[in-house]
Structure 1
Protein backbone atom coordinates (compact mmCIF):
# COMPACT_ATOMS: atom_id res chain seq x y z
CA UNK A 1 0.00 0.00 0.00
CA UNK A 2 2.81 2.41 0.85
CA UNK A 3 4.44 1.73 -2.50
CA UNK A 4 1.17 2.52 -4.34
CA UNK A 5 0.85 5.89 -2.60
CA UNK A 6 4.45 6.64 -3.40
CA UNK A 7 3.93 5.93 -7.13
CA UNK A 8 0.81 8.11 -7.23
CA UNK A 9 2.70 10.93 -5.52
CA UNK A 10 5.49 10.79 -8.14
CA UNK A 11 2.94 10.83 -10.97
CA UNK A 12 1.20 13.89 -9.52
CA UNK A 13 4.53 15.64 -9.04
CA UNK A 14 5.52 14.96 -12.65
CA UNK A 15 2.14 16.16 -13.91
CA UNK A 16 2.43 19.43 -11.97
CA UNK A 17 5.92 20.11 -13.34
CA UNK A 18 4.83 19.29 -16.92
CA UNK A 19 1.75 21.54 -16.62
CA UNK A 20 3.80 24.46 -15.31
CA UNK A 21 6.24 24.09 -18.17
CA UNK A 22 3.46 24.11 -20.77
CA UNK A 23 1.88 27.19 -19.20
CA UNK A 24 5.20 28.98 -19.17
CA UNK A 25 5.85 28.22 -22.83
CA UNK A 26 2.38 29.28 -23.90
CA UNK A 27 2.46 32.46 -21.85
CA UNK A 28 6.03 33.45 -22.83
CA UNK A 29 6.99 35.63 -25.82
CA UNK A 30 8.43 32.87 -27.97
CA UNK A 31 8.81 33.81 -31.64
CA UNK A 32 10.06 31.72 -34.54
CA UNK A 33 11.42 33.69 -37.49
CA UNK A 34 11.93 31.74 -40.67
CA UNK A 35 15.05 32.23 -42.74
CA UNK A 36 14.36 34.31 -45.84
CA UNK A 37 13.38 32.06 -48.72
CA UNK A 38 13.73 34.67 -51.43
CA UNK A 39 16.71 36.34 -52.97
CA UNK A 40 15.15 39.41 -54.44
CA UNK A 41 15.44 39.76 -58.17
CA UNK A 42 16.74 36.21 -58.48
CA UNK A 43 13.56 34.41 -57.37
CA UNK A 44 11.05 34.18 -60.24
CA UNK A 45 8.44 32.45 -58.07
CA UNK A 46 7.97 35.35 -55.67
CA UNK A 47 5.26 37.93 -56.29
CA UNK A 48 6.67 41.06 -57.93
CA UNK A 49 5.50 43.30 -55.10
CA UNK A 50 7.59 41.34 -52.58
CA UNK A 51 10.83 41.41 -54.51
CA UNK A 52 13.69 43.80 -53.95
CA UNK A 53 13.18 46.82 -56.13
CA UNK A 54 16.20 47.94 -58.21
CA UNK A 55 16.98 51.61 -58.83
CA UNK A 56 18.09 51.04 -62.42
CA UNK A 57 17.99 48.37 -65.11
CA UNK A 58 21.14 46.25 -65.56
CA UNK A 59 23.29 47.27 -68.52
CA UNK A 60 22.55 45.17 -71.63
CA UNK A 61 24.70 42.18 -72.50
CA UNK A 62 25.07 41.30 -76.15
CA UNK A 63 27.81 39.35 -77.87
CA UNK A 64 26.99 41.10 -81.15
CA UNK A 65 27.78 44.48 -79.56
CA UNK A 66 31.19 43.29 -78.36
CA UNK A 67 30.49 44.27 -74.75
CA UNK A 68 33.45 42.65 -73.06
CA UNK A 69 34.86 39.14 -73.43
CA UNK A 70 32.26 37.09 -75.31
CA UNK A 71 33.24 33.88 -73.50
CA UNK A 72 32.18 35.44 -70.17
CA UNK A 73 28.65 36.06 -71.43
CA UNK A 74 27.86 32.40 -70.79
CA UNK A 75 27.73 33.34 -67.10
CA UNK A 76 24.66 35.48 -67.77
CA UNK A 77 21.53 33.94 -66.24
CA UNK A 78 23.48 32.04 -63.57
CA UNK A 79 23.86 32.91 -59.87
CA UNK A 80 26.51 32.01 -57.30
CA UNK A 81 26.05 32.26 -53.52
CA UNK A 82 28.33 32.51 -50.51
CA UNK A 83 27.47 32.46 -46.79
CA UNK A 84 29.77 34.34 -44.42
CA UNK A 85 28.90 34.77 -40.74
CA UNK A 86 25.22 35.76 -40.64
CA UNK A 87 25.04 37.00 -44.25
CA UNK A 88 24.33 35.25 -47.50
CA UNK A 89 25.53 36.88 -50.71
CA UNK A 90 24.35 36.04 -54.18
CA UNK A 91 26.17 37.16 -57.31
CA UNK A 92 24.43 36.99 -60.68
CA UNK A 93 26.95 38.08 -63.36
CA UNK A 94 25.70 40.85 -65.65
CA UNK A 95 22.65 41.23 -63.39
CA UNK A 96 23.08 42.12 -59.72
CA UNK A 97 24.50 41.32 -56.27
CA UNK A 98 22.28 40.87 -53.21
CA UNK A 99 22.95 40.48 -49.49
CA UNK A 100 20.63 38.77 -47.00
CA UNK A 101 20.97 38.70 -43.26
CA UNK A 102 20.26 35.24 -41.88
CA UNK A 103 19.81 36.27 -38.25
CA UNK A 104 16.49 35.93 -36.42
CA UNK A 105 16.05 39.66 -35.97
CA UNK A 106 12.63 40.96 -36.93
CA UNK A 107 14.22 43.55 -39.26
CA UNK A 108 16.92 41.40 -40.84
CA UNK A 109 18.48 43.24 -43.78
CA UNK A 110 18.02 42.11 -47.37
CA UNK A 111 19.17 44.44 -50.09
CA UNK A 112 20.92 45.05 -53.38
CA UNK A 113 24.65 45.75 -53.26
CA UNK A 114 24.93 46.68 -56.92
CA UNK A 115 23.51 46.33 -60.42
CA UNK A 116 25.63 45.53 -63.46
CA UNK A 117 26.92 48.74 -65.09
CA UNK A 118 30.39 48.62 -66.64
CA UNK A 119 33.88 47.14 -66.74
CA UNK A 120 37.02 48.43 -65.08
CA UNK A 121 39.86 48.66 -67.60
CA UNK A 122 43.58 49.24 -67.09
CA UNK A 123 46.54 48.53 -69.38
CA UNK A 124 44.44 46.89 -72.10
CA UNK A 125 42.98 44.47 -69.54
CA UNK A 126 39.59 43.95 -67.93
CA UNK A 127 40.48 44.25 -64.24
CA UNK A 128 36.99 44.06 -62.75
CA UNK A 129 33.22 44.36 -63.12
CA UNK A 130 31.40 47.28 -61.50
CA UNK A 131 27.94 46.75 -60.04
CA UNK A 132 26.56 50.17 -59.11
CA UNK A 133 23.32 51.91 -58.05
CA UNK A 134 22.53 49.51 -55.22
CA UNK A 135 20.41 50.32 -52.18
CA UNK A 136 20.74 53.72 -50.55
CA UNK A 137 23.54 53.93 -47.99
CA UNK A 138 23.56 57.29 -46.27
CA UNK A 139 24.05 59.92 -48.96
CA UNK A 140 25.18 57.48 -51.66
CA UNK A 141 24.24 54.16 -53.23
CA UNK A 142 25.93 50.86 -52.51
CA UNK A 143 28.31 49.56 -55.19
CA UNK A 144 30.49 46.50 -55.64
CA UNK A 145 33.62 45.73 -57.63
CA UNK A 146 33.89 42.12 -58.80
CA UNK A 147 37.42 40.78 -59.18
CA UNK A 148 37.83 37.80 -61.53
CA UNK A 149 40.34 35.10 -60.54
CA UNK A 150 41.40 31.95 -62.37
CA UNK A 151 40.21 28.68 -60.81
CA UNK A 152 39.12 25.18 -61.80
CA UNK A 153 35.48 25.91 -60.96
CA UNK A 154 33.20 28.96 -61.00
CA UNK A 155 32.35 30.09 -57.47
CA UNK A 156 32.01 33.09 -55.21
CA UNK A 157 34.84 32.94 -52.66
CA UNK A 158 35.03 36.24 -50.76
CA UNK A 159 33.06 39.41 -50.00
CA UNK A 160 34.43 42.37 -48.06
CA UNK A 161 33.65 46.06 -47.48
CA UNK A 162 36.96 47.95 -47.81
CA UNK A 163 35.17 51.27 -47.44
CA UNK A 164 31.71 52.32 -46.33
CA UNK A 165 29.04 51.29 -48.84
CA UNK A 166 31.69 50.02 -51.31
CA UNK A 167 32.11 46.24 -51.46
CA UNK A 168 34.73 43.98 -53.01
CA UNK A 169 33.74 40.56 -54.31
CA UNK A 170 36.13 37.85 -55.51
CA UNK A 171 34.77 35.45 -58.13
CA UNK A 172 36.75 32.46 -59.36
CA UNK A 173 36.15 30.94 -62.79
CA UNK A 174 38.12 28.89 -65.34
CA UNK A 175 36.89 31.30 -68.04
CA UNK A 176 39.69 33.77 -67.19
CA UNK A 177 42.58 31.32 -66.98
CA UNK A 178 43.81 31.86 -70.56
CA UNK A 179 46.52 34.58 -70.70
CA UNK A 180 44.52 36.54 -73.28
CA UNK A 181 41.06 35.96 -71.80
CA UNK A 182 40.80 39.46 -70.31
CA UNK A 183 42.46 41.53 -73.05
CA UNK A 184 40.38 44.47 -74.26
CA UNK A 185 41.69 45.04 -77.79
CA UNK A 186 40.49 41.71 -79.28
CA UNK A 187 36.91 42.37 -78.11
CA UNK A 188 36.62 45.59 -80.12
CA UNK A 189 35.25 45.93 -83.63
CA UNK A 190 37.63 46.52 -86.53
CA UNK A 191 36.60 50.17 -86.67
CA UNK A 192 37.34 50.77 -82.99
CA UNK A 193 40.62 48.87 -83.26
CA UNK A 194 41.69 51.25 -86.05
CA UNK A 195 40.76 54.22 -83.87
CA UNK A 196 42.89 52.80 -81.06
CA UNK A 197 45.80 52.26 -83.49
CA UNK A 198 45.51 55.88 -84.66
CA UNK A 199 45.52 57.10 -81.05
CA UNK A 200 48.64 55.04 -80.32
CA UNK A 201 50.39 56.46 -83.39
CA UNK A 202 49.42 60.02 -82.48
CA UNK A 203 50.81 59.63 -78.98
CA UNK A 204 54.02 58.07 -80.34
CA UNK A 205 54.52 61.02 -82.69
CA UNK A 206 53.84 63.50 -79.89
CA UNK A 207 50.71 64.86 -81.53
CA UNK A 208 48.62 64.31 -78.38
CA UNK A 209 49.39 64.24 -74.66
CA UNK A 210 48.91 61.26 -72.39
CA UNK A 211 45.72 62.85 -71.08
CA UNK A 212 44.43 63.28 -74.61
CA UNK A 213 45.32 59.67 -75.37
CA UNK A 214 43.43 58.46 -72.30
CA UNK A 215 40.42 60.56 -73.28
CA UNK A 216 40.42 58.98 -76.74
CA UNK A 217 40.59 55.51 -75.20
CA UNK A 218 37.67 56.35 -72.92
CA UNK A 219 35.61 57.40 -75.94
CA UNK A 220 36.50 54.13 -77.70
CA UNK A 221 35.52 52.04 -74.68
CA UNK A 222 32.25 53.95 -74.32
CA UNK A 223 31.46 53.40 -78.01
CA UNK A 224 32.12 49.69 -77.48
CA UNK A 225 29.68 49.58 -74.55
CA UNK A 226 32.41 48.64 -72.08
CA UNK A 227 32.12 51.81 -70.00
CA UNK A 228 29.08 53.82 -69.03
CA UNK A 229 28.99 56.96 -71.15
CA UNK A 230 29.80 60.23 -69.38
CA UNK A 231 29.19 62.42 -72.41
CA UNK A 232 26.58 65.14 -72.19
CA UNK A 233 23.83 64.45 -74.68
CA UNK A 234 22.48 67.55 -76.40
CA UNK A 235 19.18 67.20 -78.18
CA UNK A 236 18.88 69.60 -81.09
CA UNK A 237 15.44 71.13 -81.55
CA UNK A 238 13.53 69.64 -84.41
CA UNK A 239 12.22 71.86 -87.20
CA UNK A 240 8.56 72.34 -86.48
CA UNK A 241 6.22 71.57 -89.37
CA UNK A 242 3.41 73.91 -88.54
CA UNK A 243 0.99 76.03 -90.57
CA UNK A 244 3.55 78.83 -91.01
CA UNK A 245 6.06 76.75 -92.97
CA UNK A 246 5.89 76.10 -96.68
CA UNK A 247 5.49 72.35 -96.40
CA UNK A 248 3.25 72.07 -99.44
CA UNK A 249 2.61 73.74 -102.80
CA UNK A 250 -0.85 74.78 -101.68
CA UNK A 251 0.54 76.58 -98.61
CA UNK A 252 3.14 78.35 -100.74
CA UNK A 253 0.44 79.50 -103.17
CA UNK A 254 -1.70 80.85 -100.33
CA UNK A 255 1.21 82.83 -98.87
CA UNK A 256 2.05 84.27 -102.30
CA UNK A 257 -1.55 85.42 -102.75
CA UNK A 258 -1.47 87.15 -99.35
CA UNK A 259 1.75 88.97 -100.24
CA UNK A 260 0.25 90.06 -103.57
CA UNK A 261 -2.83 91.49 -101.83
CA UNK A 262 -0.60 93.35 -99.37
CA UNK A 263 1.37 94.91 -102.24
CA UNK A 264 -1.84 96.06 -103.92
CA UNK A 265 -2.99 97.62 -100.64
CA UNK A 266 0.28 99.55 -100.33
CA UNK A 267 -0.04 100.74 -103.93
CA UNK A 268 -3.54 102.07 -103.22
CA UNK A 269 -2.29 103.81 -100.09
CA UNK A 270 0.48 105.56 -102.02
CA UNK A 271 -1.92 106.61 -104.75
CA UNK A 272 -4.37 107.95 -102.19
CA UNK A 273 -1.69 110.35 -100.90
CA UNK A 274 -0.46 111.25 -104.39
CA UNK A 275 2.92 109.66 -103.85
CA UNK A 276 4.52 108.44 -107.10
CA UNK A 277 6.10 104.99 -107.05
CA UNK A 278 8.12 102.78 -109.38
CA UNK A 279 6.77 99.25 -109.70
CA UNK A 280 9.73 97.97 -111.66
CA UNK A 281 11.55 95.15 -109.89
CA UNK A 282 15.27 94.77 -109.58
CA UNK A 283 16.67 91.61 -111.15
CA UNK A 284 19.04 91.15 -108.28
CA UNK A 285 16.73 91.57 -105.30
CA UNK A 286 13.28 91.31 -106.94
CA UNK A 287 11.82 93.61 -104.31
CA UNK A 288 9.41 96.44 -104.82
CA UNK A 289 11.18 99.82 -104.76
CA UNK A 290 9.36 103.06 -104.03
CA UNK A 291 10.69 106.48 -104.94
CA UNK A 292 9.23 109.18 -102.78
CA UNK A 293 9.33 112.59 -104.47
CA UNK A 294 9.75 115.91 -102.78
CA UNK A 295 6.15 115.95 -101.69
CA UNK A 296 4.28 115.51 -98.44
CA UNK A 297 1.10 113.87 -97.35
CA UNK A 298 -2.01 115.98 -97.59
CA UNK A 299 -2.35 118.19 -94.54
CA UNK A 300 1.43 118.08 -93.97
CA UNK A 301 3.23 121.21 -95.08
CA UNK A 302 6.59 119.78 -94.26
CA UNK A 303 9.31 121.46 -92.29
CA UNK A 304 9.13 125.29 -92.07
CA UNK A 305 12.33 127.13 -92.85
CA UNK A 306 12.60 129.85 -90.20
CA UNK A 307 15.68 131.37 -91.68
Structure 2
Protein backbone atom coordinates (compact mmCIF):
# COMPACT_ATOMS: atom_id res chain seq x y z
CA UNK A 1 0.00 0.00 0.00
CA UNK A 2 2.77 2.38 0.90
CA UNK A 3 4.44 1.61 -2.46
CA UNK A 4 1.34 2.56 -4.40
CA UNK A 5 0.97 5.78 -2.34
CA UNK A 6 4.55 6.78 -3.08
CA UNK A 7 4.08 6.14 -6.78
CA UNK A 8 0.90 8.24 -6.78
CA UNK A 9 2.67 11.16 -5.11
CA UNK A 10 5.47 10.95 -7.64
CA UNK A 11 3.02 11.10 -10.57
CA UNK A 12 1.24 14.12 -9.06
CA UNK A 13 4.56 15.90 -8.57
CA UNK A 14 5.63 15.24 -12.17
CA UNK A 15 2.28 16.47 -13.53
CA UNK A 16 2.55 19.73 -11.57
CA UNK A 17 6.11 20.20 -12.73
CA UNK A 18 5.04 19.72 -16.36
CA UNK A 19 2.56 22.61 -16.06
CA UNK A 20 5.13 25.05 -14.65
CA UNK A 21 6.90 27.37 -17.13
CA UNK A 22 9.78 29.72 -16.41
CA UNK A 23 9.45 32.96 -18.45
CA UNK A 24 12.61 34.97 -18.89
CA UNK A 25 12.52 38.70 -19.39
CA UNK A 26 13.67 39.43 -22.98
CA UNK A 27 17.10 40.99 -23.12
CA UNK A 28 16.99 44.27 -25.03
CA UNK A 29 20.55 43.83 -26.34
CA UNK A 30 20.89 47.58 -26.73
CA UNK A 31 19.91 48.90 -30.14
CA UNK A 32 20.71 45.63 -31.86
CA UNK A 33 17.54 43.94 -30.64
CA UNK A 34 15.25 43.56 -33.70
CA UNK A 35 12.20 43.14 -31.47
CA UNK A 36 12.36 46.71 -30.17
CA UNK A 37 11.04 49.73 -31.99
CA UNK A 38 13.89 52.19 -31.61
CA UNK A 39 12.39 55.02 -33.63
CA UNK A 40 9.55 55.29 -31.12
CA UNK A 41 12.09 56.17 -28.45
CA UNK A 42 13.15 59.32 -30.30
CA UNK A 43 11.05 62.32 -29.39
CA UNK A 44 11.81 65.33 -31.66
CA UNK A 45 11.48 68.78 -30.11
CA UNK A 46 10.39 70.46 -33.32
CA UNK A 47 9.56 69.75 -36.95
CA UNK A 48 12.18 70.17 -39.70
CA UNK A 49 12.23 73.35 -41.76
CA UNK A 50 11.12 73.00 -45.40
CA UNK A 51 13.92 72.13 -47.86
CA UNK A 52 15.68 75.26 -49.05
CA UNK A 53 18.84 76.36 -50.78
CA UNK A 54 20.19 74.96 -54.07
CA UNK A 55 17.37 73.05 -55.74
CA UNK A 56 19.70 70.35 -57.07
CA UNK A 57 20.27 69.25 -53.45
CA UNK A 58 16.57 68.56 -52.94
CA UNK A 59 17.04 65.11 -54.49
CA UNK A 60 18.76 64.16 -51.21
CA UNK A 61 15.53 64.74 -49.28
CA UNK A 62 13.91 61.51 -48.13
CA UNK A 63 17.21 59.61 -48.13
CA UNK A 64 19.44 58.68 -45.20
CA UNK A 65 23.15 57.95 -45.02
CA UNK A 66 24.84 56.09 -42.18
CA UNK A 67 28.32 55.84 -40.73
CA UNK A 68 29.51 53.47 -38.00
CA UNK A 69 32.38 54.92 -36.01
CA UNK A 70 33.68 53.25 -32.88
CA UNK A 71 30.59 51.99 -31.04
CA UNK A 72 28.15 54.49 -32.56
CA UNK A 73 26.07 54.51 -35.70
CA UNK A 74 25.22 57.94 -37.12
CA UNK A 75 22.40 58.53 -39.59
CA UNK A 76 22.19 61.74 -41.61
CA UNK A 77 18.87 62.40 -43.36
CA UNK A 78 19.30 65.66 -45.35
CA UNK A 79 16.59 68.26 -44.71
CA UNK A 80 15.24 66.05 -41.90
CA UNK A 81 17.48 65.08 -38.95
CA UNK A 82 20.59 63.38 -37.60
CA UNK A 83 20.47 60.51 -35.11
CA UNK A 84 23.05 58.59 -33.10
CA UNK A 85 22.68 54.96 -32.00
CA UNK A 86 25.03 53.14 -29.66
CA UNK A 87 25.98 49.74 -31.08
CA UNK A 88 26.37 47.68 -27.89
CA UNK A 89 24.56 44.91 -26.02
CA UNK A 90 23.89 47.09 -22.99
CA UNK A 91 20.26 47.16 -21.93
CA UNK A 92 20.24 50.99 -21.86
CA UNK A 93 22.26 51.72 -25.00
CA UNK A 94 21.98 55.36 -26.11
CA UNK A 95 19.80 56.38 -29.04
CA UNK A 96 19.13 60.05 -29.64
CA UNK A 97 18.68 62.98 -31.97
CA UNK A 98 21.73 65.14 -32.67
CA UNK A 99 19.78 67.79 -34.52
CA UNK A 100 16.80 68.59 -36.72
CA UNK A 101 17.13 70.49 -40.00
CA UNK A 102 16.76 74.23 -39.33
CA UNK A 103 18.83 76.56 -41.53
CA UNK A 104 21.90 77.17 -43.67
CA UNK A 105 25.18 78.73 -42.67
CA UNK A 106 26.06 81.39 -45.25
CA UNK A 107 29.40 83.13 -45.72
CA UNK A 108 30.70 85.15 -48.68
CA UNK A 109 27.68 84.41 -50.88
CA UNK A 110 28.14 80.67 -50.29
CA UNK A 111 26.17 77.96 -48.47
CA UNK A 112 28.89 76.66 -46.16
CA UNK A 113 26.95 74.21 -44.00
CA UNK A 114 23.59 72.76 -42.96
CA UNK A 115 22.63 73.40 -39.34
CA UNK A 116 20.70 70.69 -37.54
CA UNK A 117 19.52 72.15 -34.23
CA UNK A 118 17.09 71.40 -31.40
CA UNK A 119 18.40 67.89 -30.77
CA UNK A 120 18.17 66.00 -27.48
CA UNK A 121 18.84 67.88 -24.26
CA UNK A 122 22.46 68.11 -23.19
CA UNK A 123 22.59 69.78 -19.82
CA UNK A 124 21.22 73.30 -20.18
CA UNK A 125 21.32 73.27 -23.99
CA UNK A 126 20.27 71.06 -26.89
CA UNK A 127 22.52 69.02 -29.15
CA UNK A 128 23.22 70.48 -32.58
CA UNK A 129 25.22 69.52 -35.66
CA UNK A 130 26.72 71.37 -38.60
CA UNK A 131 27.01 69.33 -41.78
CA UNK A 132 29.72 70.36 -44.23
CA UNK A 133 29.06 69.48 -47.88
CA UNK A 134 32.19 68.59 -49.87
CA UNK A 135 32.80 67.20 -53.33
CA UNK A 136 32.90 63.42 -53.66
CA UNK A 137 32.36 60.73 -56.26
CA UNK A 138 29.31 59.37 -54.41
CA UNK A 139 26.92 60.32 -51.62
CA UNK A 140 28.65 59.31 -48.41
CA UNK A 141 28.70 60.34 -44.76
CA UNK A 142 32.46 60.67 -44.34
CA UNK A 143 33.32 61.78 -40.79
CA UNK A 144 31.85 62.83 -37.45
CA UNK A 145 33.49 64.82 -34.66
CA UNK A 146 32.49 66.77 -31.55
CA UNK A 147 34.48 70.05 -31.52
CA UNK A 148 32.74 71.19 -28.35
CA UNK A 149 30.41 69.53 -25.90
CA UNK A 150 27.19 68.45 -27.62
CA UNK A 151 28.04 70.44 -30.77
CA UNK A 152 28.89 68.03 -33.58
CA UNK A 153 30.47 68.41 -36.99
CA UNK A 154 29.80 66.08 -39.91
CA UNK A 155 31.33 65.86 -43.37
CA UNK A 156 29.07 64.67 -46.17
CA UNK A 157 30.54 63.95 -49.59
CA UNK A 158 28.38 64.29 -52.69
CA UNK A 159 28.92 64.89 -56.41
CA UNK A 160 26.11 67.47 -56.25
CA UNK A 161 28.51 70.14 -54.93
CA UNK A 162 31.48 69.50 -57.20
CA UNK A 163 30.66 72.35 -59.59
CA UNK A 164 32.37 75.57 -58.40
CA UNK A 165 29.04 77.45 -58.48
CA UNK A 166 26.92 74.72 -56.92
CA UNK A 167 26.73 76.35 -53.48
CA UNK A 168 26.44 80.03 -54.46
CA UNK A 169 23.54 81.84 -52.80
CA UNK A 170 22.77 84.64 -55.27
CA UNK A 171 21.65 82.41 -58.20
CA UNK A 172 19.16 80.57 -55.98
CA UNK A 173 17.21 83.76 -55.13
CA UNK A 174 14.19 84.92 -57.08
CA UNK A 175 14.45 88.02 -59.27
CA UNK A 176 12.97 90.38 -56.68
CA UNK A 177 15.43 89.36 -53.96
CA UNK A 178 18.34 89.59 -56.41
CA UNK A 179 17.32 93.17 -57.21
CA UNK A 180 17.28 93.97 -53.49
CA UNK A 181 20.74 92.50 -53.12
CA UNK A 182 21.97 94.62 -56.05
CA UNK A 183 20.54 97.73 -54.42
CA UNK A 184 22.22 97.22 -51.06
CA UNK A 185 25.50 96.45 -52.82
CA UNK A 186 25.22 99.84 -54.53
CA UNK A 187 24.27 101.52 -51.27
CA UNK A 188 27.35 100.07 -49.60
CA UNK A 189 29.50 101.23 -52.49
CA UNK A 190 28.03 104.74 -52.18
CA UNK A 191 28.65 104.65 -48.40
CA UNK A 192 24.95 105.13 -47.71
CA UNK A 193 25.01 102.18 -45.33
CA UNK A 194 27.69 100.75 -43.06
CA UNK A 195 29.16 97.26 -43.20
CA UNK A 196 27.02 96.32 -40.23
CA UNK A 197 23.91 97.66 -41.94
CA UNK A 198 24.86 95.81 -45.10
CA UNK A 199 25.10 92.51 -43.25
CA UNK A 200 21.78 93.13 -41.53
CA UNK A 201 20.00 93.79 -44.83
CA UNK A 202 21.57 90.71 -46.40
CA UNK A 203 20.39 88.60 -43.49
CA UNK A 204 16.85 89.88 -44.03
CA UNK A 205 17.05 88.70 -47.64
CA UNK A 206 18.24 85.25 -46.56
CA UNK A 207 15.48 85.04 -43.96
CA UNK A 208 12.83 85.93 -46.54
CA UNK A 209 14.23 83.20 -48.77
CA UNK A 210 13.89 80.75 -45.82
CA UNK A 211 17.63 80.09 -45.76
CA UNK A 212 17.97 81.44 -42.21
CA UNK A 213 15.64 81.32 -39.23
CA UNK A 214 14.35 84.69 -38.07
CA UNK A 215 13.80 83.79 -34.40
CA UNK A 216 17.51 84.02 -33.56
CA UNK A 217 17.93 87.48 -35.07
CA UNK A 218 14.83 88.76 -33.27
CA UNK A 219 16.16 87.61 -29.92
CA UNK A 220 19.50 89.23 -30.73
CA UNK A 221 17.77 92.51 -31.55
CA UNK A 222 15.88 92.40 -28.24
CA UNK A 223 19.13 91.86 -26.37
CA UNK A 224 20.74 94.74 -28.23
CA UNK A 225 17.80 96.97 -27.41
CA UNK A 226 18.04 96.06 -23.74
CA UNK A 227 21.69 96.98 -23.64
CA UNK A 228 21.50 100.14 -25.75
CA UNK A 229 21.18 103.76 -24.62
CA UNK A 230 21.95 102.95 -20.99
CA UNK A 231 24.82 104.78 -19.35
CA UNK A 232 26.09 104.16 -15.87
CA UNK A 233 28.19 107.35 -15.70
CA UNK A 234 28.10 110.86 -17.14
CA UNK A 235 31.44 110.18 -18.82
CA UNK A 236 29.93 107.29 -20.78
CA UNK A 237 27.08 109.52 -21.88
CA UNK A 238 29.52 112.20 -23.04
CA UNK A 239 31.56 109.70 -25.03
CA UNK A 240 28.42 108.40 -26.74
CA UNK A 241 27.32 111.95 -27.52
CA UNK A 242 30.68 112.72 -29.13
CA UNK A 243 30.44 109.56 -31.22
CA UNK A 244 26.99 110.56 -32.42
CA UNK A 245 28.25 114.01 -33.32
CA UNK A 246 31.06 112.50 -35.38
CA UNK A 247 28.60 110.19 -37.09
CA UNK A 248 26.36 113.16 -37.91
CA UNK A 249 29.32 114.93 -39.52
CA UNK A 250 30.06 111.83 -41.55
CA UNK A 251 26.49 111.62 -42.80
CA UNK A 252 26.52 115.30 -43.74
CA UNK A 253 29.69 114.78 -45.76
CA UNK A 254 27.99 111.90 -47.61
CA UNK A 255 25.07 114.20 -48.45
CA UNK A 256 27.48 116.83 -49.76
CA UNK A 257 29.29 114.19 -51.79
CA UNK A 258 26.03 113.18 -53.46
CA UNK A 259 24.94 116.76 -54.12
CA UNK A 260 22.25 116.90 -51.46
CA UNK A 261 21.88 120.04 -49.37
CA UNK A 262 20.32 120.11 -45.94
CA UNK A 263 18.66 122.60 -43.62
CA UNK A 264 19.14 122.49 -39.87
CA UNK A 265 16.28 123.21 -37.54
CA UNK A 266 18.92 123.48 -34.82
CA UNK A 267 22.64 122.87 -34.50
CA UNK A 268 22.08 119.29 -33.38
CA UNK A 269 19.45 117.83 -35.73
CA UNK A 270 18.83 117.58 -39.45
CA UNK A 271 15.27 118.69 -40.13
CA UNK A 272 14.85 117.62 -43.74
CA UNK A 273 16.78 117.10 -46.94
CA UNK A 274 16.40 119.16 -50.13
CA UNK A 275 17.99 118.01 -53.40
CA UNK A 276 20.17 120.73 -54.93
CA UNK A 277 19.97 119.20 -58.41
CA UNK A 278 17.76 116.64 -60.22
CA UNK A 279 20.61 114.12 -60.46
CA UNK A 280 20.63 113.80 -56.67
CA UNK A 281 17.01 112.64 -56.47
CA UNK A 282 17.85 108.98 -56.68
CA UNK A 283 20.57 109.22 -54.05
CA UNK A 284 18.17 111.09 -51.76
CA UNK A 285 15.50 108.44 -52.21
CA UNK A 286 18.04 105.71 -51.42
CA UNK A 287 19.08 107.54 -48.26
CA UNK A 288 15.47 107.82 -47.05
CA UNK A 289 14.62 104.19 -47.85
CA UNK A 290 17.68 102.58 -46.31
CA UNK A 291 19.40 105.19 -44.19
CA UNK A 292 22.26 104.17 -41.97
CA UNK A 293 21.07 100.88 -40.55
CA UNK A 294 24.03 99.99 -38.41
CA UNK A 295 26.94 101.27 -36.38
CA UNK A 296 30.04 102.00 -38.36
CA UNK A 297 32.90 99.52 -37.89
CA UNK A 298 35.92 101.78 -38.21
CA UNK A 299 37.85 100.25 -35.37
Superposition RMSD in Å: 2.4
Structure 1 residues 47, 102: CA separation in 2 closer, same or farther (over 3 Å shift)? closer
Question: Partner residue of 1:53?
Answer: 43
| Residue in 2 that maps onto 1:263 | none
Residues 98, 120 of structure 2: 8 Å contact kept: yes
Structure 1 residue 165 displacement after superposition:
0.7
Residues 1:126 and 2:103 are matched in the alignment: no
Unaligned stretches of 5+ residues in structure 2: 1-23, 220-299
Structure 1 stretches lacking a partner, 5+ long: 1-28, 40-44, 62-66, 234-307
Per-residue deviation, 1:99? 0.2
Distance in 1, matches of 2:79 and 2:111, equals 14
Q: 2:153 aligns with which of 168, 187, 196?
A: 168
Higher helix share: 2
Q: How does 1:28-43 map to 2 (within 5 A)?
A: 33-36=28-31
- Between 1 and 2, higher relative CO (CA 8 Å, sep ≥ 6) is seen in 2
Among 94, 97, 114, the alignment partner of 2:99 is 114
Question: Is 1:94 aligned to residue 79 of structure 2?
Answer: yes
Deviation at 1:127, TM superposition (A): 0.3
* Contact 2:105-2:112 at 8 Å conserved across structures: yes
Choose 1 or 2 for highest CA Rg.
1
Mapped contact 2:29–2:90 kept (Cα < 8 A)? no
Give the SS at the match of 1:156.
strand
Aligned residue for 1:58, secondary structure, equals coil
- Using structure 1 for the length normalisation, give the TM-score: 0.60
CA distance in 2 between partners of 1:156 and 1:148 (Å): 10
Report the structure, 1 or 2, having the larger strand content. Answer: 2
- Between the aligned partners of 1:177 and 1:232, the Cα distance in structure 2 is 35
Name 1:229's counterpart in structure 2. 214
Tell me the equivalent position of 1:218: 203
